Amino acid sequence: MADSNLLDKELTEDERLKGGKKKQKKEDAWKPEGPQDPFALLKSLPETKQQEIQRALHLFSVGPSLPKTLQQARTHTYRFWDSQPVPKLGDSSVTHGPIVEGEAAVRKEPYSLPSGFVWDTPDLSSPTVMKELCTLLSENFEDEDDNTVRRDFSPEYLQWALQPPNWLPQWNCGVRVHSNNKLVGFIAALPADVRVYETQKRMAAVKFLCVHKKLRLKRMTPVLIRELTRRVHQQGLSQAVYSAGIVLPTPISSCRYWHRPLSPRKLTEVSYPGLRQNMNLPRALKFYRLPETTKTPGLRPLTDADVVGVHSLLQANQLRFHLSSAMSLQEAEHWLSPRENVVDTYVVEGEAGTLTDVVSFYSVSSSVLNHPVHTGLRAARLLYAAGTATDPADLMEDTLVLAKSKGFDVFCALDVMDNKSFFENLKFNVIDKSVRYYLYNWMCPDMSPDKVGLVFPS
């Protein structure tokens, strides 16, 4: 952080972490206090029993929870975020620019971890390490509140999501348990050229913040964020863009997820949340029926030869939004080129051979838990839809047909860009899940979701 005030506040947070020493031994800083360690107790039980208890604890949790609404946020004390260069909740900015000016003084050594934990830069080229990362994220990234589905991360997906052109190994920041080398914490960032209103800046796009469930609420997150910030500062960058479901100081936009069932029978059987209430199965099957084939002439999968045309289409489209990506040709190639079970992109080729439209979605796989019939669920999430010739609702209906034919069970999209224009007609349902966008060390007026042109595959 650049100014001494912020450094002071950082120290306070470090001291607080270390202050735990007075009450607890240093090596126990991330363990609960008390005569018997409940984690040790839990660990001594069989795995299935442990899982049952954890699910029950989660469902009936009365512990401190992070604010999910602005109203809850008003009464929450942000011990960490109040020390960071982010706008305070309730402040509405009319100006544009950094909150802390100038180059940050970069601390040379990594932030200290409580004894028993070590920093690690996971080597993504190692299949073993990739598997460990997949396990950490699959088991801990999403809270299966209702105990029905669990997200599955594959090495192919993470290679795509974490290794675009110019990615930096040191921006993948892991925490391991020293004694057994278990990966228990992770945060990553990617370099990205981001346009915010009239300013274009190279920033860190932060993703995949994850702390093992057994180490939650122990303030590991602030340490991960500080260490990543230090590594970002080392590259001379001072801004970051990130998204989160919870309310932090201060969202620049709050967006919602919409879901379009493609396999209503399966979704009903697994009690998927994105279904309309009060609709029985026969009605749902009829209501969500889709045409067998697509109708847009010239619609076909993207090939290598299309990348240049698609890049210019997207660039022109992105200028319409207040928050968008100024991606390079190589980045467009990375994010859009079809990869099996990871990302699909289709283009519309007009009569003269020019590309007029593009639509792209990525694949999110989950395991269905405790179900007698179903084991997996596949969601397609909309990445980009941009065009000049095809009606957006027609293009999206064809996209739903293609996604269904590829075995996806549901199609999800945020209400960013122009997406809201086709949700109602195409029978998308809004679910109670928000995604808030944030900028680190940058203030600007907030914006409605339709002015957001950026989607983070996470």
- Binding interface with ligand COA (CB under 6 A): 66, 78-81, 140-141, 209-211, 216-222, 243-244, 246, 248
Q: Which residues lie below 8 Å from residue 83, measured CB to CB, with a gap of 6+?
A: 6, 9, 10, 12, 13
- Dmax (CA) of the chain: 76
Q: Which residues lie below 8 Å from residue 304, measured CB to CB, with a gap of 6+?
A: 333, 337
Closer CB to ligand COA, 72 or 125, in the complex: 72
Closest CA to 284 of 300, 303, 271, 268: 268
Encoded tokens for 272: 């998927």
Closer CB to ligand COA, 248 or 447, in the complex: 248
- Least CB distance from residue 385 to ligand COA, whole Å? 23
- Least CB distance from residue 66 to ligand COA, whole Å? 5
Closer CB to ligand COA, 232 or 403, in the complex: 232
Are 383 and 455 in contact, with CB atoms under 8 Å apart?
yes
The CA R_g of the chain, rounded to the nearest whole Å, is: 23
* Number of CB atoms found within 10 A of residue 455's CB: 23
Closer CB to ligand COA, 42 or 393, in the complex: 42
Rounded Cα distance between 165 and 52, Å, is 42
- Least CB distance from residue 138 to ligand COA, whole Å? 11
Closer CB to ligand COA, 395 or 412, in the complex: 412
- Least CB distance from residue 62 to ligand COA, whole Å? 15
Give the count of alpha carbons within 13 A of 233, CB side only: 21
Residue 156 identity: E
- Least CB distance from residue 239 to ligand COA, whole Å? 16
Segment (H or E) for 394 = helix 392-405
- Least CB distance from residue 132 to ligand COA, whole Å? 16
Count, residues in the chain: 458
- Sign of CA pseudo-dihedral 428, 434, 439, 445: positive
Closer CB to ligand COA, 72 or 303, in the complex: 72
Are 84 and 226 in contact, with CB atoms under 8 Å apart?
no
Closer CB to ligand COA, 236 or 245, in the complex: 245
Give the count of alpha carbons within 13 A of 189, CB side only: 29
- Least CB distance from residue 340 to ligand COA, whole Å? 26
Encoded tokens for 407: 């075995």
Closer CB to ligand COA, 246 or 285, in the complex: 246
- Least CB distance from residue 79 to ligand COA, whole Å? 4
Rounded Cα distance between 309 and 327, Å, is 14
Virtual CA dihedral for 24, 30, 32, 35, nearest 10 degrees? -50
Closer CB to ligand COA, 215 or 444, in the complex: 215
- Least CB distance from residue 134 to ligand COA, whole Å? 14
Encoded tokens for 388: 């000049």
Are 417 and 325 in contact, with CB atoms under 8 Å apart?
no
Closer CB to ligand COA, 187 or 400, in the complex: 187
Return the axis-axis angle of helices 127-140 and 155-162, rounded to nearest 10°: 90
Closer CB to ligand COA, 13 or 333, in the complex: 13
Q: In Å, how far are 81, 89, 108, 252, 454 from 451, measured between CA atoms?
A: 25, 21, 39, 11, 9
- Least CB distance from residue 6 to ligand COA, whole Å? 14
- Least CB distance from residue 185 to ligand COA, whole Å? 8
Proportion of the chain in helix, strand, coil states, percent, rounded to 5: 35, 25, 40
